[in-house]
Structure 1
Amino acid sequence: MSQTVTTDRSVSPRRIASLALPALVVLAAEPLYVLVDTAVVGHLGRVPLAALAVGGTVMTLTAWVGTVVAYGTTGRAARRFGAGDRAAAVAEGVQTSWLAFGVGLLIAIGMQFGGAALARTLAGGAGDVADAAEHWLRIAALGAPGLLLAAAGNGWLRGVQDTRRPLYFVLGPNLLSALLCPLLVYPGGLGLVGSAVANVVAQTLCGALFAAALVTERVSLRPRPHVIRQQLVLSRDLLIRGLAFQASFLSATAVAARFGAAAVGAHQIALQLWFFTALVLDALAVAAQSLVGAALGAGDDAGARALARRIGLLGGICGVGFALFVAAGAGVVPTWFSSDPGVREQAMIAWPWFVVMLPLAGVVFALDGVLIGAGDVRYLRNLTIVAALGGFLPAIWLAYALDLGLGGIWAGLTVFVVIRLVALLLRLRNGRWAVVGAVR
């Protein structure tokens, strides 16, 4: 099958946009659905919203595992694609899909046995919130295999610079689920459980579509355990990095829950908006992974460096645009998700930190994509651990000890972003990440 490998000499803003814009829709679809889900459940009352915050945080962990799978696959597939071997790039996707499906099954089964204990831990003990979160989580976890299978599919398709098929594969199921959610929650009479069922429908259908895409490539679909083991080893840095992220965000939710139902409900609103904007801004990171990986695979290190500078600048510009939008909606947006005055009041505490972080985060997410595409994931692993252990985690637990509320939690997130920004700019400047070759 013929291919066109794109390096910096032919990369224009239009080419970046042709990869980033479809990826933006794909990245935004899942968190946008979560925002719809939050708005629907939020009007059931304070307890269901708090339960969704607790259960949703666990499923967000699963989604982050999927992000690790996708990003690791994109970098390796893009280098092989840049070296002129599309079949090898797709073969990376086959083995990653088997790995993703297996991990998803383990998560689905594990939540049936451990969901109750996990819900109680995050909710700060037994009670109405923990019970509701447990029921939601056991059902929602059944969508984990499809969720992770879709992540693997996104990874290899981005690696071969195809962002159009993922657009249809993700958008269709999520639109269906967005329609099902309010129908199941309200007229269907399922309440919070209806939200979980809608999640499972979307994720399972999405995973099936990506699996079908592999079949159409006409490559061997046989699992190769030794290749899967290699991918696990090669992905360990991204996995550790993802665990550092999730330890931080799980701790933040646990601390928010200890400030009361209104605080954790407000934290859910602000956090899901944060994840939404982060993933939308990550559209540039997806383009960076694909284009930088292909450039280095083709031996064009100078082009990769120039592309990195360009995408970092674009990330900062996009971050400023989002910050202005979020600031303008401060008095309106929280009311979309909850009619509870206490929840809305708590949301306003986190809002200024949210706005200030966005321009910085735009650059951080773009440069993350550059280094992932280059295969420089060990540096990203170390940086994330230092930023989490030295900034985010101490700040949020200090907020609990000193009773600083959501303001303290979100100040910790700001510190986390600033540390990463400084370190990424230093890495970009020294250029040690730009190593050429089909596989790093």
Structure 2
Amino acid sequence: MADVAAPEDLDQVGGRRILGLALPALPVLAAEPLYLLVDTAVVGRLGAVALGALAVGAVVLAQVSTQLTFLSYGTTARAARLHGAGRRTDAVAEGVQASWLAGGVGIVLLALVQLVAGPVTRLLAGGGELAAQAEGWLRIASLGIPLVLVTLAGNGWMRGVQDTVRPLRYVLIGNGVSAVVCPVLVLGVGWGLPGSAVANVLAQVLSAGLFLRALAVERRAGAVSLRPDPRTIGAHLVLGRDLVLRSLAFQACFLSAAAVAARSGTAVVAAHQVVLQLWTFTSLVLDSLAVAAQALVGAALGAGRTAGARALAWRVTRWSAVFAAVIAAGFAAAHSVLPRVFTPDPAVLAQVPDAWWFLVAVVPVAGVVFALDGVLLGAGDAAFLRTATLGCAVLGFLPLIWLSELAGWGLRGIWAGLTAFVVLRMATVVARVRSDRWVVAGPVRT
């Protein structure tokens, strides 16, 4: 089991401890995107129809799981407070209840996806062989939905007790085995696209099984009950409501950006995709520091160390801002080289600078935003984050995005919208953290 910071040490947590939590969290956050790259490379050998079907099926599946990340972030917030209060058994019990919720919601979503798989894939793919293959892939891959949610819950409670090493092992085992099995099933055995879906489910079975086994071990070692507790599950649902609404605001923004880019021409949407992937990579790096902020700030508040929580908030923010500035400097230095790694197309490369310098400018701001998001999530201040994110989307991102289409601003308008969104979010979270209204001591936020 990973070494954990005792509550009395929280006031003196330094960079080494922050990185000790953040660095193992980064591969966990990146594991799914990396696995999808392997999956795409394997399926791509089957031809354009199979690759297109995978893209359609995967985007539907991603929308389902993306909206339920509260099972991870919300569980971390609740477990971290209890862990900081010296109640590790109760912190693990939060993972038990989150896992029950994950299983129940997962089964409902599985049934729903099976019901609508045909109509949804035909709507997205326009019918024909592409839609048929996408439907077949989605029906198999969706069997893993409850397992994906259990894995999210497992990540949540382990982060809450400041153990980011075991989740790393579990997720890498699942995705690693699946990455080996995928080409065997798809190409070797000859199952084609369905083999990709089977490998996907196998990864989820392995990862979720390891997280459930960890709870069983905790039960034997610490008398943690594995029975469902409706009251605790209800508390997770309330927290989840706020985080789902926040996630929907992000989805509305980025789907709108993609739609406007697509209407602006092939070269514009391709350039947008290049820069967006770099933004996604940066988000993963900064999100790993936000995970550390969640765990440490939640524990400090649970231990009643409000001064320590305030100090940790700004300490993690400084670390995140420094990392973000380094990344932004790297993007600036590589502005003429890095885009060519993604595409040799002159028309696309000509469009990239319209977004590139917005990316360079916004990354340092994002360093502050992501860290303070983690602080407020760790404090359980999800209702504020919900309202602030929705407000910033409505006032900052969406107006500029759609005005960009009307005025023909192209990528400049789209990325100006993203920049405005991030700057507004920074203003709101900085003001919130300075206000101390997020500082609520105790093992449970009331």
Q: TM-score, normalised by structure 1?
A: 0.87
Deviates more, 1:112-121 or 1:180-189: 180-189
Corresponding residue to 1:229 among 234, 242, 265 = 234
- Indicate the residue corresponding to 1:382 in structure 2: 387
Is the Cα contact below 8 Å between 2:68 and 2:244 reproduced in 1? no
CA separation of 1:355 and 1:144: change in aligned 2, threshold 3 A = farther
Taking the aligned partners of 1:12 and 1:74, their CA distance within structure 2 comes to: 20
- Indicate the residue corresponding to 1:205 in structure 2: 206
- Indicate the residue corresponding to 1:409 in structure 2: 414
1:277 aligns with 2:277: no
What per-residue deviation string (whole Å, max 9, x for no partner) do you get for residues 361-401 of structure 1? 12111110000111111111111101122222333333444
CA separation of 1:203 and 1:353: change in aligned 2, threshold 3 A = farther
Shift of 1:23: 1.4
CA separation of 1:197 and 1:293: change in aligned 2, threshold 3 A = same
Any residues of structure 2 matched to 1:6-405 within 5 Å, and which?
7-38=9-40, 52-119=54-121, 133-184=134-185, 193-218=194-219, 219-258=224-263, 270-327=275-332, 350-405=355-410
Identity of counterpart residues, as a percentage?
57
Taking the aligned partners of 1:436 and 1:430, their CA distance within structure 2 comes to: 15
Shift of 1:8: 3.3
Taking the aligned partners of 1:44 and 1:407, their CA distance within structure 2 comes to: 37
* Structure 2 spans left out of the alignment, 5+ residues: none
Aligned-pair Cα RMSD in Å: 3.3
Is the Cα contact below 8 Å between 2:388 and 2:428 reproduced in 1? yes
Shift of 1:63: 3.6
- Matched residue count: 439
CA separation of 1:130 and 1:106: change in aligned 2, threshold 3 A = same
Taking the aligned partners of 1:267 and 1:323, their CA distance within structure 2 comes to: 17
Taking the aligned partners of 1:352 and 1:42, their CA distance within structure 2 comes to: 32
1:430 aligns with 2:405: no
- Bigger Rg over Cα: 2
Taking the aligned partners of 2:80 and 2:58, their CA distance within structure 1 comes to: 32
Is the Cα contact below 8 Å between 1:47 and 1:261 reproduced in 2? no
Taking the aligned partners of 2:298 and 2:412, their CA distance within structure 1 comes to: 39
What per-residue deviation string (whole Å, max 9, x for no partner) do you get for residues 304-360 of structure 1? 111111111111111122234445555666666678777777667644443333222
Shift of 1:187: 5.1
Give the letter for the 1:414 counterpart.
T
SS class of match (2:117): helix
Give the letter for the 1:234 counterpart.
L
Shift of 1:408: 3.8
Q: TM-score, normalised by structure 2?
A: 0.86
Is the Cα contact below 8 Å between 2:11 and 2:311 reproduced in 1? no
Is the Cα contact below 8 Å between 2:140 and 2:197 reproduced in 1? yes
Is the Cα contact below 8 Å between 1:33 and 1:178 reproduced in 2? yes
